[in-house]
Structure 1
Amino acid sequence: MTLNKPWMLRGAFALGAIGLVIVLMQVTLFGKKSDAAKTSAKPLPLVSVVRAEARDLPVKLSAHGHVVPLNQVDVRPQVGGTVRGIHFREGDEVKAGQLLFTIDSSDVIAQLERTQASAAQIEAQVDEAERDLARIKQLAKLRYYSTSAVDTSTSKLESLKAQHKAVQAEVASSRLQVERTRIAAPMAGLTGALAVHPGSLAQTTAAVPLVTVVQIDPIGVEFSLPESQLARLLDARAAGTVRIELQTPDGNRLPGSLVFVNNTVNTDSGTITLKASFPNGARSLWPGAYVELVIDAGVSRGAIVLPPQALLEGPQGRFVYVLDQDNKAQVRPVELLRLQEQMAVVDGLNGGERVVAEGHAGLKPGAAVRIAARTGKDA
């Protein structure tokens, strides 16, 4: 159709202009929606990863403990009485068998003398009964005495011998009581504070001992370790490879030896109590002091190590994020065995896994990630 009239040409131009405006508006709106969609898309979390590495690692454990005496004796009286003498000064080092206290022995000495007199009296009666029995037996052979008379004399002698044996036991007991009025040191060691003074009454039922003697050389240290380390420690102990060192106050290291492993694990703390022995000739270690220990428990073969910052704490315990083949983060529970050489030794990984070391903020299980940097071997 030919548009040869002016009004028809003007109408066609108007319709074309309106169509162009509609197209431009649609393009503009679509462009804005595309820009908004691009703007709303969040970038993937940016993380750094490390490869879980298996190493043959020396097992070095650290612990804190308190110095304790390996031997300690509370000196108590075994007989009551007045303290007549104290033969040392509190705080002195004493030798085994050294006289410490003298208790008034007048009562027990009198008792000893009475029992000795009784023993002598009965002994004389026994001698007389033996002579009578011998004479009656001789006369019985001549038929001056009957057999019953011999039996009577024999019974009398046996009764007197039994009485003599009993009174001899009383004499021994009284003599022991006299000896106990002199109290000697049961072992060599360092004495503590005195609880009595000359003139004080020493009682066998007293709650407080006269003095306490502790062994000072060698001396012990009591400490505890997590139960997770018990199997490794026992293996090393059986192999004779356990080494213990103590940090002395002057900064030196003092070697010692493991002397005790408790037979139960504390169910409240999940720890095991141990005790080590250390030489203390210089008297640098004092009972009750707080010390630091380093325990070498052999070598852990194929230990899995990670940077400490790779470990996270959740309601179910410690865990790490492991990347799968699609670079998606998956939760893997782990157990922290110890921190050593600025690395975390863990259980729960096989070695070789790619573990998120940094960039945990906002990371969720199953989320895809971008790897910004790789650290460690073959990460």
Structure 2
Amino acid sequence: MLRNRHTAWRPLRVALLSATVLLAACGEKPQQQDMSGMKVPVSVIQVQPEVTPIFTELPGRVEAIKEAEVRARVTGIVTAINFEQGSEVKEGDLLFTIDPAPYEAVRDQAAAQLKNAQAEAQTASLLAQRYGKLIKENAVSRQDYDTAMARANQAQAAVAAAKAALKAAEIDLGYTKVTAPISGRIGRAEITEGALVSATQATHLATIQHLDEMYVDITRPVGEVMSLRKAIADGTLKSDPDGAARVSAILDDRSVYEETGRLLFSGVSVDPTTGQLNMRAVFPNPDQLLLPGMFVRVRLEQGVDEKALLVPTQAVQYGANGTTSLMIVKDDVVQVVPVKLGSTIDGRVIINEGLEPNSTVIVEGFQKIRPGAPVQGMPWKAAPATQEDASSSSNNG
């Protein structure tokens, strides 16, 4: 009887154990569903096409618009230096004085020779006039008359030569006072007082540079120029109505130079060794922050993209092999799209390929998400940009 009772309870225990396991499983399943269904909050933006100027940045070298090397034009001893090195000088200011005594003597000698020639010319002229009257009366021979006229003409020529010699002597005497050929900033004196300078060797005395405006010489790969022309031709980019190209300069400290420059010309031939086109821009330089020989980054405006897609630079993901991508939200889950980047403008980068208009791009919150993860998009609020950040973003364009 007892054995039959145990046999009857065995199926009941199995049923109770199975029910317990089923209940435990049913209780855990909703909890797992709740965990997997949690949406991670991320900051996002919705990308809309916008009209954007397109820039390119190129290295450039600053050159003076006017640069004059002051050189000796007469030989002599420098007796005085009449300027302060590094100061501003005006055209015509006295810079150096070369001993004028030898040239004063040559000038005086030339003046005396001129007076002598003028006296001889006067005598010859009077004789020619007298013979002119006598020839009419046949009082002198024709040969004597012709000789007198020839000597009068020779005397006049001697006067002209003496005047020229005097003028040359006065010019050389004037060169003993070396003046500024242009206005600008003068550098250091290349010689000292008491030094012998030579006209034949054209001794370098100093250099003056005009700094109110400066050239910036830049080169550009011909491939970029061809791509630009193609983009304008097919309507991807639109150039300025007036056709003028504006440029800005970025200094060594990554600050943007306040004055806007303009492009003067672009080369029409390609350097066969570098494949570059030569271009030149001119910048106002009222505060003389640009100095000859400086290297700057030149931002060249090359057109307008009327349907540019821009995202904050921090939204771009960089792969180990150099690839670039964005994380977007589609149907409330994360998707990764590979993209190609363009220029960087004020902390935002242009997406040339891979991104569709009206896409929702993740900007912040990458630490807790992965492709396929559900997310909750929240509008991204940009932090106020500092001057250093703005300069850095401009430099990276």
Q: Per-residue deviation at 1:203?
A: 1.7
1:97-119 deviation digits (Å, cap 9, x = unpaired): 11111111111221111121111
Q: Does 1:243 align with 2:250?
A: no
Determine helix, strand or coil for the equivalent of 2:95.
Answer: strand
Q: Does 1:64 align with 2:65?
A: no
Determine helix, strand or coil for the equivalent of 2:120.
Answer: helix
- What is the rounded CA distance, in whole Å, between the counterparts of 1:80 and 1:237 in structure 2? 56
Determine helix, strand or coil for the equivalent of 1:89.
Answer: coil
Q: Per-residue deviation at 1:57?
A: 6.3
Counterpart of 2:301 (choices 277, 296, 315) is 296
- What is the rounded CA distance, in whole Å, between the counterparts of 1:132 and 1:70 in structure 2? 61
Counterpart of 2:105 (choices 106, 110, 122) is 110
Q: Per-residue deviation at 1:267?
A: 2.0
Q: Does 1:77 align with 2:72?
A: yes
Q: Per-residue deviation at 1:84?
A: 1.0
Residues 20-31 of structure 1 correspond to what in structure 2 (within 5 A)? none
Q: Is the 8 A contact 2:214 2:284 kept in 1?
A: yes
What is the aligned partner in structure 2 of residue 227 from structure 1? 222
1:302-323 deviation digits (Å, cap 9, x = unpaired): 9999x9989x99xxxxxxxxxx
Unaligned runs of 5+ in 2: 1-48, 233-237, 311-315, 323-339, 357-371, 373-397
Q: Does 1:274 align with 2:269?
A: no
Q: Structure 1 238/78 Cα, relative in aligned 2: closer, same or farther at 3 Å?
A: farther
Residues 125-204 of structure 1 correspond to what in structure 2 (within 5 A)? 125-204=120-199
- What is the rounded CA distance, in whole Å, between the counterparts of 1:105 and 1:207 in structure 2? 17
| Counterpart residue type for residue 251 of structure 1 | S
Q: Is the 8 A contact 1:93 1:190 kept in 2?
A: yes
Determine helix, strand or coil for the equivalent of 1:78.
Answer: coil
Q: Is the 8 A contact 1:308 1:342 kept in 2?
A: no
CA-based RMSD of the aligned residues comes to 3.8
| Counterpart residue type for residue 169 of structure 1 | A
Q: Per-residue deviation at 1:137?
A: 1.4
- What is the rounded CA distance, in whole Å, between the counterparts of 2:194 and 2:240 in structure 1? 53
- What is the rounded CA distance, in whole Å, between the counterparts of 2:145 and 2:240 in structure 1? 73
Q: Is the 8 A contact 1:77 1:203 kept in 2?
A: yes
What is the aligned partner in structure 2 of residue 377 from structure 1? none
Q: Does 1:342 align with 2:349?
A: yes
Q: Structure 1 130/211 Cα, relative in aligned 2: closer, same or farther at 3 Å?
A: same
User: How many residue pairs were aligned?
Assistant: 278
| Counterpart residue type for residue 99 of structure 2 | D
Q: Which moved more, 1:236-245 or 1:164-173?
A: 236-245
Q: Structure 1 237/161 Cα, relative in aligned 2: closer, same or farther at 3 Å?
A: farther
1:176-228 deviation digits (Å, cap 9, x = unpaired): 11111111111111111211111111123447621111111112222221123
Q: Per-residue deviation at 1:140?
A: 2.1
Q: Per-residue deviation at 1:58?
A: 3.5
Radius of gyration: which is bigger?
1
Q: Is the 8 A contact 1:229 1:337 kept in 2?
A: no
| Counterpart residue type for residue 64 of structure 1 | P
Q: Is the 8 A contact 2:246 2:300 kept in 1?
A: yes
1:353-376 deviation digits (Å, cap 9, x = unpaired): xxxxxxxxxxxxxxxxxxx9xxxx
What is the aligned partner in structure 1 of residue 288 from structure 2? 283
| Counterpart residue type for residue 108 of structure 1 | Y
Q: Does 1:123 align with 2:118?
A: yes
What is the aligned partner in structure 2 of residue 99 from structure 1? 94
Q: Does 1:265 align with 2:270?
A: yes
Determine helix, strand or coil for the equivalent of 1:196.
Answer: coil
Q: Structure 1 128/236 Cα, relative in aligned 2: closer, same or farther at 3 Å?
A: farther
| Counterpart residue type for residue 247 of structure 1 | I
Determine helix, strand or coil for the equivalent of 2:190.
Answer: coil
Q: Does 1:256 align with 2:261?
A: yes
Unaligned runs of 5+ in 1: 1-53, 314-335, 347-351, 353-371, 373-379
What is the aligned partner in structure 2 of residue 319 from structure 1? none
1:261-307 deviation digits (Å, cap 9, x = unpaired): 345322222222222221221222222222222111223689999x9
